[in-house]
Structure 1
Amino acid sequence: MKVFVHVFFLLVCLSQLNLTAQNKITLSGKVTDQQGTPLSLVTIAVENTTFGTYTDDSGRYSLQVSPGKHTFVVSSLGYQTIKISLDLHHNKTLDFQLEESSVNLNSVEVYGKSNTQKVKEGALTVNAVDIKPLVNSLNNLNTMVNRTTGIKIREEGGVGSDFELSINGMSGNSVRYFIDGMPLSTKGSGINLANLPVNIIDRIEIYKGVVPANLGADALGGAINIITNQEKKNYLDASYGIGSFHTHKIDINGQFVDPKTDLVFRPTIGVNYSKNDYTMKGVEVWDEDNRKYVLANRKRFHDDYFSLLGQLEIGFVNKSWTDAFFISASYSKVDKELQTGSIQSKVYGMAERQTDAWNVSGRYLKHDFLIKDLQLNASVSHTWDQSLTIDTAFRKYNWDGTYIESPRNEITGRDRSLRHYKRPLTIVRTNIDYRLNDHHSFNLNYLLNRTGNDRYDEIDTEFEPSNDVLAKHILGLSYNQFFFEGKMDNTFFFKDYINHLEIGQQDLSWITGSDGVPASSTKNHIGYGLGSRYSFWEKLALKISFEHSVRLPLSRELLGNGTTIYPNIKLKPESSNNYNVGTYGSIRLAPSHLLYYEANGFYRNVDNYIHAVISESEGMMQYENVSSVKIKGIEGEVRYTWSDHLQAIVNCSYQDARDQKKYKSDGKPSISYKNKVPNRPWLFSNAELNYTLSDLFKKNSKLRLSYNYQYVHWFFLTWEGYGALDSKSKIPTQHLHTATVSYSWAKERYNLSFECNNLFDSNIYDNYMLQKPGRSFFCKFRLFIN
C-alpha cells in the first residue's frame, strides 16, 4: 500500500510541474438548447486531437488550449453538431446553442460520447448502463443490470421475488442503492430495481468497491445510483406489458412545463402484477398410492404479487433563486403472497406480506450559490413505511396445494401472528461542490439516515412490542484534480461514519443476541480512499483506486424482516480494504466501426464480513459475521459497434472469495478455512448481439433484433470442507438464452416489443436452489409523445 501511495503522489507532483511549464489560454462559456435550457455533458473538442471537455450540470464548460488557430467541435447525441474555427491568443468566452436533430451526424459519432461512456472514463471503477435506448423492450432494471460486467443478481423466484445483487463478490446489503443521489429506500422498502418504472430513468451508474464521497454511502461492495430524466420538455411516456404467468406491467411518466413561469409537473405511475404460477420441476409431493413422497412437476399456487408506485413532483427550474427546486409526494404499495421460505422445501399456502409507504421530500439545486462556482444540492425526505406479515394458518402445505393441520404457524413455527413493523425513515442530504479553477475542485457531503423500528402483534399475546432506532451520520470530503487537458483525473476522499443504535426488543434473545448488547450505543468509524485515471491516447487509459471502507449493518440485517429473517442485534460493522486496477480504450477499426475494451482486477480484504446463514430445518435466515474474507478477481468486456446497425458485447467475470478464519472461537481449527464462500457464483459471463434496421417497412421506423446469453458455472451450496465432495449439494452450471424483437415507427412515437426469456426452457436456479421460471414470453407496447 505504501508503494501504491508513493507512486500515486509522484504522478501528481509531476503533473503539477508540467502544468506550470505550459502557456495556455482558456475558452469558456455555456451551451444551451433552443429554449435556453442548459445542456450537461456536451462535448467541446479540438478537431483531430484527443483534447476536449464536457459541460457541467449548468451547461458551463472551460477548455485550455495552446495559443493559435483551432477548430472546435461542439456535439451531443440528439443535437446538430457545431464546428467553428477560432484564432485564439487571449482567454475567450463563447456560448453555443444546439438545435435538435433526429439523425446522428458523423461528427457526433466521432467526437460525441454518451453520458454512460463519460462516467466509465472517470477515476473510479464504474459500470454505466444507458437505459434510454432499451426502454422500448426493457421489462425491469434487474434484467439489464444483471448483464453488466462483474454484476450478478440472484432472484428467489419470479416477478416481485426478493433478490440479492453482488458487485465483485460483495453482495446483498454491502451494496447501496440511490436515485439521483438519495437513498432509494425513500420510496419505501418495497421499491427496488425490479419494480421501479423504467421509463423515468436515463442511466444507471454502478460503482465497484470504491464509492465516491458525494453519495454519502457506507457501502462496502459498491453502490448503484439511478439517474432519472431531467430534460426540460413536455412529454408523455406510457407503456403496457403482458406476459406469461398472468404478468401485467403499466408505466406512465410525463412532464408538463409552463413556459411563462417555468413551473414543472412530473407525474409517475408504475404498476406490476403477476400470479407467478410457473411450474416447479422435481419437487416432492405425496403419492397416496405408494404411501411415499415422489418427485413431480407442480405449479406454484400461492405467489401473487402486486406493486404500485405513484409520485408527483412540482417545482421550478432556471430561476434566479434556483436552478431546480422540487417538492414531491409519493405512495408505494406492495402485496405479496409467500410461497416458500428461504429454501423451496418449505411451502406456504396462506402467509402474506403487505407493505405501504408514504413519502414527502424536497430538493434544491443552485449553481453560484453565495459565491461564484459554489454549487449547493440539498434534499430532505421523510417516509412513513409500514409492513404487515400475516401468518395465521396452522397448516403444513405440500407442492400439490394439499395440507395437513399443524400446531404451528407456517413461517416461524410458533403461534398465529399478525406482525406489524413501522419503520419511519428520515433522510437529510447536503452536498456542496466548489470549483477552485479548471484543475481543482472540492466536495463536502453530509447524509443523515434515521430508521425507526416499531414492532407489535395484533393477536400473538406472547410477542413483546418494542421500538428500535438505527441512525447513521455520514460525512464525506473529497478533493479532485484535472490535469493535462483532461488526460489525468485524480480524486482523494475522507469519510466519517457515526452509527447510533437504540434497541428495545428483548424477545428470542437466545437467537437474536439482544441480551448481549447495550440498549443504546454510539460508535464512530473512519474511511478514506483515492483514485486516479490517465489517458495516454484514445486506445489506452489506465486507472487505479483504493478505499478503506466501512459498512454499517442495515435494519434488515440487525432487526430482521418480520418473515423469513431473524434479527441479529450482535452484528458488527464490516470493514474492508478495496483495491482496483483497470484499463480501457477505444479502437476505430474503420469509419463507423468502433471496438471498445475494458479490463479490471480487484482485491477485497474484508473483516467481520456479514454473511447470510440459512437453517434448513426452519427455512429461516439470519445474518452473521465471518471474521475475515478475502476476495480477488478479474473481469473484462469487449464491445464492437458498427454505426447504428450492429452491436456485439461479451464480458466475463471471475471472483474468488475465501474464508480466512483459521481457528474457531474454541481454538480448534476451522474446517472452512481457505474454502470458497458457498452459495454464490464465482465464474459467469454474458454475450449480447443487437442488430438495428432503419426505415424497413416505413420511413422513420426501426426494427431491433436482440439476443442475450448468460452462463453461470456450478457452485457449492455449503462450505467445501463439510462432508464428502461427491455428495455435496451444488447448483449446477446454467445457460440462459433470451431473444427480443422490437419495432418502432413515427419517429419512435409508437413502439412494440416481444421477448422470449429462457428460450430453451432450462432449469435456472439462484438463491439456495430456489427455482426461477421456465420459458416465458412478454409483450410490451409503448407510446411516447414528445
Structure 2
Amino acid sequence: MKRISKILHLLAFMPVIFVNDLKSQTQQTDTTKRVDIKAVDILRQQKAADLRRSPFAADGIDMQPLRMQNLDLNRVLDRLPGIRVRQNGGLGSEASYTIHGLTGNAIRFFVDGVPINNLGSAFGPGSIPSNSLERIEVYKGVTPIELGSDALGGAINLVTRQDLQNNLEFSYAAGSFNTHRATLSSYFSSKNKKLFAQLNGFINSSDNNYEVWGPGVAIAGSDGRIIENIRFKRFNDDYKSVGAKVSIGLRELAWADLLSIGLYASGSDRGIQTGRTMAFVYGAVRYDDRFMMPNIRYVKRNLAGGKLDVDIFAGINSLRGTTTDTSSNKFNWAGNVIDPNVQGELNGIRAQKSIYQFNDRNIQSRVNANYRFSEHLQMRLAYNGTWARREGADELGVAEWTIALREPQYMNKNIVGAAVESNNKNKTFQQILSFRALHYKAESVAYQYSGNSQRELVPISSDDLLWGGSYAARWIPATNWALKLSAENSIRLPEGVELFGDGTTILNSPNLQPEQSQNLNASVHRRFVFDDNLSLETSGNYFFRNTKNLIWLGEGDLFGTARYENLEKIRSQGFEVEARLNIRERFFWTLSSTYQDVRNRQRLAPSGAPNVVFNDRLRNMPYFFANSEFRLQSIRAGKSKYLSAYLNTQYIEKFYFGWPSLGNQATNAYVPRQFIQDAGTAVTFENLGLTVGLDCYNLFNQQIYDNYLLQKPGRFLSIKITYHLSNPF
C-alpha cells in the first residue's frame, strides 16, 4: 500500500513530465474532440478568472466541473492555497476555517452576499450541495464592502446557479457509513422571461459510524486497567438535514431589474458523540434545530442616467435549537453502559439532566449602491444591519450549565462602508480605497461568583464604535504579469454563538472583546502562454497579520466543554505559492503549498508575570500544508459520452495541539503528519442528460485528525447519479 501511495504521490505532484506527450496526443485527436466551448461556459470561467486578477488577494472557483462529484464544499475549499478546513468528524460535524492563520468566525461565509451564519446549521458549507453553485469567491484579507461584513481574515461567497433557461436537475448519492445525499434544482420562467421561479433543495443523512482508535479512545478491562488501541465504531453521531431556497419574482421591468420574494428553510437532527476531545464519549445526547427566513430583494441598475446601481436585501429569520441530555446512562467507546445512575452526560461530574431550547430572532438588512462617475472612477456605498435576540429555557430546569443561557440576550450590529475604485486609461493600474464604521451593542449574562461565596447571574454589557479601512491595488507592468498589494486595519465583532454558546458543548462567553487586525498581502502573478493549447499560471503571495484580542475556541476543559476566549496579541506571517497548468482546456494540474508562522506575542500574562508561552506557535494550528490535483475534464469517450477524472493529494505537517513550551518536545501531544489521497471519475451521457460519478476519499484509509485529535472518517466510497433536463416546462 505504501508503494502504491508513493506512485500516486508522484503522479499527482509531477504530471508536468507528461506535458509534451499529452500535447501531441491531443493535437492528433482534434477530429474526435470538441474544440469549441459554448459562450456561456467561457463567460462562466471568465468570472472566476477575473476575481483572481482583481486587486484583492482572491481566488475564484468555477463549480461546473465539480458538480458531478459527491463533493462537499469543505473539500473544495481545503484544496486552495492559504486555506485549511478542519472538521470534528464526518458529514454535518462542526468545521472551522483558517485563512493565513486567522480562524473561526474571522472568516465570514455568504450565500449570494447573505451571511451564512444567520441561515441555520443545515446551511453550513459542509451541507450545501455542489450542484447548487455557480462558483465560489474566496477573499484572503481585504473584502469588498458590498459583502457588508466585519470579516477579519477573509470572506467566502457561495454564488448559487443563475440559470436563466428552464431546467430541472436531480442528483442522488450514496456512500460509506450509510451516507445519502439528494439535491433538486429547478428554474422556470414565462415566455417573455419576466416572471420566474427558482428552487434549490437538498437532503443529507449519514450514520457517521466510522471506526476510531488511538489517543482518547479506550475502555477499561475487567481488571480496571485501561485498554487502548482497540477500534470502535461511532454510535451516536448520525446526522440528518434538509434545506431549501425558494424564490419567485420579476425580471427586466422598467422599474426593477429584479424583484424577488424568497424563503430559506431548513432543519437538522444529529447525535452528539464527543466533547471537545475524544476523551469524552456521549451515547444519548441529541441536538436538533429548525430555521426559516422569508426575504425580499430588489435590484435596479443604470439609474441616474445609467450611472447608479442599487441592490437591497432584507430578511427576518427564526431559529429554534434544542439540546436533549436526559440519559441516566454513561457510555464507553464500546457503546456499553458503564454507569446506569448518572444525571445526564454533558459536563462530567457536574452533569444534570436538561432539555435546553433556545429561540433566536434575527432581522437583517443590506443596502449596496454603486455610482459610476466615469469609465475609470466609481464609488460604492454599503450598509449592513443585524438585530439578534436569544431567549432560552430548560424544560427540566435543573442543569447549572443552562442557567445563564436561559436569560434573554441580544446583540445589534451596524456596519457602514464606502469605497472608491479607480483605473487608469489603459486599465493596467486599478486601486480600491475603502472605509468602514462598525457599531456593536450586546447584552448578555454570566453565572459566576460575585464577591462572595454565592454564585449569581451578572449582567454584561458591551457598546463599541470602531473604525476600519483598507487599500488594494493591482498593476499590470507587462502582458501576462500582475503585481498586487492590499492592506487593511480590520475589525471583527463577536458573533452570537461566541457570546451565547451553542447549547451543547460550547458555553457562553459574555466578556469577549472585538478582534482587531492589521493585515498585509503582496503577490506576484505570471502567466506563461506557450501556444493556444498550453498555458501555465503561477503566483506567489506573502501575508502578514498583527492581531489583537483574537477570538478563538479554547481548549476543552475537564468536563468536555469549552468557551471562546480572547488572545491578546497574535502575529501571523508566511507565504503561499501556486501553479496551474492547462492543456487544451481538458487536462489540468494544480500544485499549491502554504507556510504560516502563527505565534503568541503576548509578553505578560494577565497576572503581570512573564508569559511562559510567549513566541510559541499558536496551539492546534497547522503551519505547513500542500495540495496537488491532476484532472481530466470532458474527454470525449464516444459520440455523446464524456469522461472526467481526478486525483488529489494533500500533505499536512504535524503540529502541536498544546503550547509547545508547556511540554517535552519529544512527548508533547501533537496531531501527526498526514498524507491523504482522493480519486474519482465521472461519465456523462450527453444525449440522456445523465452523469454517473464514482468517488473515493481517503483512498488508503489513513487515520486522519484535525482539532485536538478529533478523528475524521476513514476511506469513503460513493456513487452519484445526476439527471439534467433542459426546457422541461
Q: Tell me the residue number matched to 1:424.
A: 361
Deviation, structure 1 residue 517: 7.5
Q: Tell me the residue number matched to 1:613.
A: 554
Pairing 1:421-460 to 2, within 5 Å after superposition? 421-460=358-397
Q: Tell me the residue number matched to 1:351.
A: 285
Q: Tell me the residue number matched to 1:547.
A: 488
Do structure 1's residue 689 and structure 2's residue 623 form an aligned pair? no
Q: Tell me the residue number matched to 1:303.
A: 237
In the superposition, relative to structure 1, how do residues 399 and 642 fare at CA in structure 2: closer, same or farther (>3 Å)? same
Deviation, structure 1 residue 347: 0.3
Do structure 1's residue 388 and structure 2's residue 329 form an aligned pair? no
Does the aligned pair in 2 maintain the 1:517–1:569 contact within 8 Å? no
Distance 1:549 1:154 in 2: 24
Do structure 1's residue 624 and structure 2's residue 559 form an aligned pair? no
Deviation, structure 1 residue 574: 0.5
Q: Tell me the residue number matched to 1:136.
A: 68
Q: Tell me the residue number matched to 1:40.
A: none
Deviation, structure 1 residue 112: 9.6
Amino acid at match of 1:163: A
In the superposition, relative to structure 1, how do residues 157 and 444 fare at CA in structure 2: closer, same or farther (>3 Å)? same
Amino acid at match of 1:717: F
Distance 1:257 1:597 in 2: 42
Distance 2:41 2:435 in 1: 38
Q: Tell me the residue number matched to 2:667.
A: 727
Deviation, structure 1 residue 372: 2.4
In the superposition, relative to structure 1, how do residues 693 and 664 fare at CA in structure 2: closer, same or farther (>3 Å)? closer
Does the aligned pair in 2 maintain the 1:189–1:385 contact within 8 Å? no
Distance 1:634 1:685 in 2: 12
- Name the stretch that deviates more: 452-461 or 630-639: 452-461
Do structure 1's residue 556 and structure 2's residue 493 form an aligned pair? no
Distance 2:598 2:458 in 1: 30
In the superposition, relative to structure 1, how do residues 510 and 207 fare at CA in structure 2: closer, same or farther (>3 Å)? farther
Distance 1:111 1:646 in 2: 20
Do structure 1's residue 771 and structure 2's residue 711 form an aligned pair? yes
Pairing 1:139-158 to 2, within 5 Å after superposition? 139-158=71-90
* Residue of structure 2 aligned with 1:402, choices 330, 336, 344: 336
- Name the stretch that deviates more: 736-745 or 113-122: 113-122
Distance 2:675 2:710 in 1: 16
Does the aligned pair in 1 maintain the 2:218–2:226 contact within 8 Å? no
In the superposition, relative to structure 1, how do residues 533 and 363 fare at CA in structure 2: closer, same or farther (>3 Å)? same
What SS does structure 2 have at the residue aligned with 1:214? helix
Distance 1:427 1:106 in 2: 39
- Name the stretch that deviates more: 713-722 or 277-286: 277-286
* Residue of structure 1 aligned with 2:594, choices 649, 653, 664: 653
Distance 2:688 2:588 in 1: 20
Deviations 1:178-226, CA, capped at 9 Å, x for gaps: 1111112343243211111322211111111111211111111111111
Amino acid at match of 1:411: L
Structure 2 unmatched ranges of 5 or more: 1-32
Does the aligned pair in 2 maintain the 1:343–1:616 contact within 8 Å? no
What SS does structure 2 have at the residue aligned with 1:493? strand
Deviation, structure 1 residue 321: 1.3
Q: Tell me the residue number matched to 1:257.
A: 189
Amino acid at match of 1:193: P
Q: Tell me the residue number matched to 1:127.
A: 59
Structure 1 segments, 4+ long, off by >6 Å, are: 106-112, 514-517
Distance 1:382 1:106 in 2: 40
- Name the stretch that deviates more: 680-689 or 362-371: 362-371
Deviation, structure 1 residue 113: 5.7
Does the aligned pair in 2 maintain the 1:155–1:162 contact within 8 Å? yes
Do structure 1's residue 226 and structure 2's residue 158 form an aligned pair? yes
In the superposition, relative to structure 1, how do residues 261 and 164 fare at CA in structure 2: closer, same or farther (>3 Å)? closer
Q: Tell me the residue number matched to 1:782.
A: 722
* Residue of structure 1 aligned with 2:441, choices 492, 495, 500: 500
Deviations 1:424-451, CA, capped at 9 Å, x for gaps: 1111000010111100000000000121
Q: Tell me the residue number matched to 1:704.
A: 644
Deviations 1:93-141, CA, capped at 9 Å, x for gaps: xxxxxxxx98625999999962111011001100111111110114211
Distance 2:42 2:275 in 1: 53
Deviations 1:317-338, CA, capped at 9 Å, x for gaps: 1111111111011310010111
* Residue of structure 1 aligned with 2:148, choices 190, 197, 216: 216
Distance 2:65 2:475 in 1: 30
Structure 1 unmatched ranges of 5 or more: 1-100
In the superposition, relative to structure 1, how do residues 521 and 340 fare at CA in structure 2: closer, same or farther (>3 Å)? closer
* Residue of structure 2 aligned with 1:205, choices 137, 142, 154: 137
Distance 1:497 1:254 in 2: 39
Q: Tell me the residue number matched to 1:361.
A: 295
Q: Tell me the residue number matched to 2:24.
A: none
TM-score with structure 2 setting the length? 0.90
Q: Tell me the residue number matched to 1:472.
A: 413
Distance 2:309 2:69 in 1: 37
Q: Tell me the residue number matched to 1:266.
A: 198
Amino acid at match of 1:426: I
Distance 2:69 2:86 in 1: 21
Distance 2:242 2:44 in 1: 38
Q: Tell me the residue number matched to 1:714.
A: 654
Does the aligned pair in 2 maintain the 1:285–1:295 contact within 8 Å? no
* Residue of structure 1 aligned with 2:603, choices 662, 666, 677: 662
Q: Which fold has the larger relative contact order, with Cα–Cα distance below 8 Å and residues 6 or more apart in sequence?
A: 2
In the superposition, relative to structure 1, how do residues 310 and 510 fare at CA in structure 2: closer, same or farther (>3 Å)? farther
TM-align CA RMSD:
2.2
Deviation, structure 1 residue 482: 1.3
Distance 1:197 1:456 in 2: 33
In the superposition, relative to structure 1, how do residues 343 and 510 fare at CA in structure 2: closer, same or farther (>3 Å)? farther
Amino acid at match of 2:383: Y
Q: Tell me the residue number matched to 1:170.
A: 102
Deviation, structure 1 residue 734: 0.2
Pairing 1:254-333 to 2, within 5 Å after superposition? 254-260=186-192, 262-282=194-214, 283-288=217-222, 291-333=225-267
Deviations 1:462-517, CA, capped at 9 Å, x for gaps: 654311111100001000001142211100000000001122x3434689xx9898
TM-score with structure 1 setting the length? 0.84
In the superposition, relative to structure 1, how do residues 735 and 260 fare at CA in structure 2: closer, same or farther (>3 Å)? same
Distance 2:121 2:499 in 1: 15
Distance 2:450 2:332 in 1: 31
Q: Tell me the residue number matched to 2:3.
A: none
Q: How many residues align?
A: 682
Amino acid at match of 1:633: G
In the superposition, relative to structure 1, how do residues 106 and 309 fare at CA in structure 2: closer, same or farther (>3 Å)? closer
Does the aligned pair in 2 maintain the 1:415–1:460 contact within 8 Å? no
Deviation, structure 1 residue 776: 1.3
Distance 2:677 2:96 in 1: 21
What SS does structure 1 have at the residue aligned with 2:368? strand
Distance 1:532 1:155 in 2: 34
Distance 1:160 1:111 in 2: 33
Deviation, structure 1 residue 280: 0.7
Do structure 1's residue 488 and structure 2's residue 426 form an aligned pair? no
Deviations 1:132-175, CA, capped at 9 Å, x for gaps: 11101142111111101111000001111101011111111111
Deviation, structure 1 residue 616: 4.0
Distance 2:693 2:386 in 1: 40
Distance 1:763 1:268 in 2: 35
Distance 2:450 2:660 in 1: 28
Distance 2:631 2:340 in 1: 54
Q: Tell me the residue number matched to 2:544.
A: 603
Percent of residue pairs identical: 29
Distance 1:175 1:106 in 2: 35
